[in-house]
Structure 1
Amino acid sequence: MTKYLMGIDNGGTSTKAAIYDAAGNEIAKSTIYTEMLTPHEYWTERDMSELRAVNFQVIHDVLQKSKINPKDIAGVGMTGHGNGLYLIGKNGQFVRNGIISTDNRASAIVEKWLADKNYETAVRPRTYATIWSSQPAALLKWLDENEPEVYDKTEYVFMITDLVRYWLTGKAGFEISNASGTSLFNQDTEKLDEKVFEFFGIKKWLKKIPPLVDSTAECGKITAAVSKKTGLCEGTPVAGGLFDITASALSTGLVKHNQLSIVTGTWSINQYIDNKISVVKDLFMTSDYPIKDEYLLTEASPTSGSNLTWFTETFMKDHTQLLKIVNDEHSIYDYCSKLVAAVKPWESKLIFYPFIFGSNAGIANSSAGFIGASKDTSLAQFVNAVYEGVCFAHKAHVEKLLKINANVLSSPIRIAGGITNSQVWLQMFADIFQKPLELVNVKENGAMGAAMAAGVMSGLFTDFKAAAKSMVHISRTITPNPELAEVYQEKYDLYQKVVKDQSFVWNDIGNTQLETAN
């Protein structure tokens, strides 16, 4: 009898469920997009009632699409955006809106912590990471200062992976790969660190965090009530789940050293695994990897493909509507790729720094922008600059990883995420990095990784290496054009110089208070 695995993936604005067989074939998937709430500047939230409803709905829908017997689902795993904050009160009540990982309300708190010289002795040597504004520590501190009533209403502090597992099983846990990315986890002791909580001034919240659970542990079973709403069989086992960057890495087959995995989406995720870690001040994050004695070293920022979504929704709405009117089978993204394909790399010096949702420049108040435009700059050149800017942002992250491990590019890059739908963008990535790109035959990387965790939990695979061998397959390889190496290096150097030179401008903008009109 064929057994199947279900993976659930909650991003910032979408919820997905997919079903796979043990060979990694996608049987069916379902996606529902949800509203990102922005009640104040720099806030990004989700309605908890809507979030729960769409999770149940995508499970129901994917089972209907698959036409398989729910009894053949061997296990369910889940993943979702890392960090952010989801609070649950007694009897499962919602305390407040969930907070997404692009939220920036606590930036001033983080700047104060990072300016404290004690951070480098009290926190970084324990967490091996740099705190940032949408991590739980910063958000909990912000709540203490701005919504203090929330503490007494809260029974559990969750990441989104833990929240969805709780809804499916009624069991509370705090999954380790997610926990290790929160800047609250001691990488040496493999536990949440009380002294770190003390430094951040949030020690009281430690009692609100449920026990740590492993990614492949059975952390509960589908309840009778959930079975009625979703169609899953009561008693179906549910795995601990995974941090989304971990799930994406596993779905690209990242199981050996000196191999780079790049995931493109809202976040620019660039990572590799190693069995050795050290304190590196500029490294974004070191987190647990669910392979024995391995760690995931990550450079990341929200500077990737979602910048194109912003550009098309802001400046190309008419083009999108026209494509619909003429029933063109191509999407606005296909149209963008056609525009970029017509631009030769040496034809435009237009630079775009892709910081719409955040920056990786290491400069306070940095924001997105174009520089180098003239009256002759075409729409195609603007789109081309967005494509290049995203590639350059990834390259800046990878250069930081190369300072830690000079061999990280000794084999082809495994790449996944939204840009893999564009052959033009893939070729640009390969040409800018001057490395072959290997594409895995998977469309939903997060859901696939989560399903792999369910496969290990259920005994279909002995471990993640076995799961990757069975489920992950290279579909094609993109080879770089060496003739473009020099021109792209010149453009990347120009990009870096422009970003550096903008620091005083960003500082002035950030510190300027505009007067309201009378």
Structure 2
Amino acid sequence: MKYLLGIDNGGTVTKAAIYDYEGRELAVSGIKTRLLMPFPGFTERDPDELWKANTEVIKDVITKSGVDAHNIAGVAVTGHGNGMYPVDERGESVYNGIISTDTRAADIVSKWYEDKTSDRVREKTLQAIYPGQPPALLAWLKQNNPEVLEKAKWILLCKDYIRACLTGEICTEFTDISVANLIDTAAGRYDIDLLREYGIEEMISKLPPIKKSSDICGYITKEVASLTGLAEGTPVAGGMCDMHSCAIATGIIDEEMLCIVAGTWSINQYISRKPIIADDLFLSSFYCDEGFWLNTEASATSAGNLEWFVDRFLGEEKLISIKQGISVYEVCNKMIEETQPEESDILFLPFLLGTNEDSNSKACFIGLNGWHTKAQVLRSIYEGVVFSHLYHINKLLKYREHPKSIRLSGGAS
């Protein structure tokens, strides 16, 4: 029997899973990766640490599954969209990986909205600009840290960096690059005039070749085989951006359904035969199923807020979860079950990482009093995240009928 290995590098966790051809999961392994915040607005990760996490979860999931690695027919990688991972001609990192929640380039993006650059590029890219995208990050590095760009041979996205580590081959893929504000979506290619609008036209030589999700983009190298237990020569597919992966994995194959991804980002989306072209829609991008477009409303306002609260304030609950042998999030759910909506009127604005409306937005609790309990504060975070999703869904419903069903994925699911 043959099997497939999938690898996911989200904003907080690296996972690997093995499936049979019927889609049954045999085993899964995950490792939380560190978020680096060296300065306000910076969200980065150590690329070497990220690669090490990938080798560890691959090795662990093969062991857990009991599968002979020679029976793994193929590997595919997904990862968070946007951000950037610059590498040199050897494929080695020249800077920390930058995650899509990064806001260091907020002032540059504000200027692009003021001078209408945003309107001109939207005609080609079909999306809004935000600070965590490659154009803004490249413009920021050009102004503030040009030596990084001088060292960089290629500008990669997250999954492309991991695929390059697995195979030694450099490329990107259509779903991922189509959400990065770097291509003319009608033509399906890079556009020098588009890059000129951003003031980064010289970067076109550093943008990798574009492949399809299903293309074989390389093979597991001998070195990687020794690190992971995979068989040398195992083919590695192009893969896709994580929000596209979530949509197809939850069965979004027609226009009647809607997909919600509750992870670091609040992602809300559906597919259509034609892209939705509207100034108030976050983006339309290529879908992995040719002939469809993925229409998305999103912001970094989802379960990342809960993770922050757990890490900063729920040390006691973490100990309880360890003693009981359960997830700390199960403890959180039990705390919520013991509260009632009418007990408290705390409002939580889930803007720890800004919003797509204003990258400088700040999170806050409104209506907090001394008598409020930890559980009630926690409930307000749940509610704030849910209402953020609702805000985006209501925007999508301006362009479609109510869906027949909604599929939920992401860490919070």
Please indicate the TM-score interval, normalised by the length of the shorter structure: over 0.9
Q: State which drifts further: 239-248 or 311-320.
A: 311-320
Q: Is 1:328 matched up with 2:321?
A: no
| Letter matched to residue 372 of structure 1 | G
Long gaps (5+) in structure 2? none
- Counterparts of 2:29 and 2:117, CA distance in 1: 47
User: What are the equivalent positions in structure 2 for 1:288-367 lying under 5 Å apart?
Assistant: 288-324=286-322, 327-360=323-356, 362-363=357-358, 365-367=360-362
| Letter matched to residue 168 of structure 2 | G
Checking the alignment, whether the CA contact within 8 Å between 2:106 and 2:359 is kept in structure 1 is: no
Deviation at 1:118, TM superposition (A): 4.2
**Residues 418 and 34 from structure 1, CA distance in 2 versus in 1: closer, same or farther, beyond 3 angstroms?**
closer
For each residue in 1:105-133, what CA deviation from the matched residue of structure 2 results, as whole angstroms up to 9, or x when unmatched?
Answer: 1111111111112431x201111100110
Q: Is 1:115 matched up with 2:111?
A: no
Larger radius of gyration: 1
Deviation at 1:263, TM superposition (A): 0.8
Q: Is 1:389 matched up with 2:384?
A: yes
Q: State which drifts further: 340-349 or 140-149.
A: 340-349
Identity score, percent = 44
For each residue in 1:140-180, what CA deviation from the matched residue of structure 2 results, as whole angstroms up to 9, or x when unmatched?
Answer: 11110011112221111100111111111111111110000
Checking the alignment, whether the CA contact within 8 Å between 2:155 and 2:206 is kept in structure 1 is: yes
Per the alignment, in what secondary structure is the counterpart of residue 324 of structure 2? coil
**Residues 363 and 97 from structure 1, CA distance in 2 versus in 1: closer, same or farther, beyond 3 angstroms?**
closer
For each residue in 1:226-280, what CA deviation from the matched residue of structure 2 results, as whole angstroms up to 9, or x when unmatched?
Answer: 2122111111111001001000111111111031100111111100000112421
- Counterparts of 2:245 and 2:176, CA distance in 1: 11
**Residues 13 and 335 from structure 1, CA distance in 2 versus in 1: closer, same or farther, beyond 3 angstroms?**
closer
1:79 counterpart residue number: 78
2:40 counterpart residue number: 41
2:207 counterpart residue number: 209
Per the alignment, in what secondary structure is the counterpart of residue 269 of structure 2? strand
Checking the alignment, whether the CA contact within 8 Å between 2:36 and 2:45 is kept in structure 1 is: yes
**In the comparison of the two structures, how many residue pairs are matched?**
413
- Counterparts of 1:67 and 1:332, CA distance in 2: 29
1:272 counterpart residue number: 270
For each residue in 1:299-344, what CA deviation from the matched residue of structure 2 results, as whole angstroms up to 9, or x when unmatched?
Answer: 11111112112112222223323454xx223433222212221222
1:126 counterpart residue number: 124
For each residue in 1:480-499, what CA deviation from the matched residue of structure 2 results, as whole angstroms up to 9, or x when unmatched?
Answer: xxxxxxxxxxxxxxxxxxxx
2:186 counterpart residue number: 188
- Counterparts of 1:319 and 1:306, CA distance in 2: 18
Long gaps (5+) in structure 1? 421-518
- Counterparts of 1:118 and 1:366, CA distance in 2: 22
| Letter matched to residue 186 of structure 2 | D
- Counterparts of 2:198 and 2:307, CA distance in 1: 35
- Counterparts of 2:328 and 2:221, CA distance in 1: 42
1:456 counterpart residue number: none
**Residues 14 and 329 from structure 1, CA distance in 2 versus in 1: closer, same or farther, beyond 3 angstroms?**
closer
| Letter matched to residue 22 of structure 1 | Y
Q: State which drifts further: 281-290 or 387-396.
A: 281-290
Q: Is 1:250 matched up with 2:245?
A: no
1:402 counterpart residue number: 397
1:237 counterpart residue number: 235
TM-score (norm 2): 0.96
- Counterparts of 2:158 and 2:89, CA distance in 1: 18
Q: Give the alignment's Cα RMSD to 1 decimal.
A: 1.5
2:141 counterpart residue number: 143
- Counterparts of 1:380 and 1:93, CA distance in 2: 45
Deviation at 1:363, TM superposition (A): 4.3
For each residue in 1:34-61, what CA deviation from the matched residue of structure 2 results, as whole angstroms up to 9, or x when unmatched?
Answer: 2211111111111122222222222122
Q: 2:410 aligns with which of 404, 407, 417?
A: 417
- Counterparts of 2:321 and 2:134, CA distance in 1: 42
2:95 counterpart residue number: 96
Q: State which drifts further: 124-133 or 55-64.
A: 55-64
Deviation at 1:135, TM superposition (A): 0.5
| Letter matched to residue 72 of structure 1 | N
- Counterparts of 2:149 and 2:124, CA distance in 1: 26
- Counterparts of 1:329 and 1:91, CA distance in 2: 44
- Counterparts of 1:29 and 1:300, CA distance in 2: 27
For each residue in 1:420-453, what CA deviation from the matched residue of structure 2 results, as whole angstroms up to 9, or x when unmatched?
Answer: 2xxxxxxxxxxxxxxxxxxxxxxxxxxxxxxxxx
**Residues 374 and 129 from structure 1, CA distance in 2 versus in 1: closer, same or farther, beyond 3 angstroms?**
same
Per the alignment, in what secondary structure is the counterpart of residue 75 of structure 1? strand
Q: State which drifts further: 25-34 or 174-183.
A: 25-34
- Counterparts of 2:320 and 2:3, CA distance in 1: 41
For each residue in 1:384-407, what CA deviation from the matched residue of structure 2 results, as whole angstroms up to 9, or x when unmatched?
Answer: 1111111100000001101122x1
Deviation at 1:366, TM superposition (A): 1.8
For each residue in 1:45-99, what CA deviation from the matched residue of structure 2 results, as whole angstroms up to 9, or x when unmatched?
Answer: 1112222222222212211111111111111000001011101112223211111
- Counterparts of 2:359 and 2:24, CA distance in 1: 45
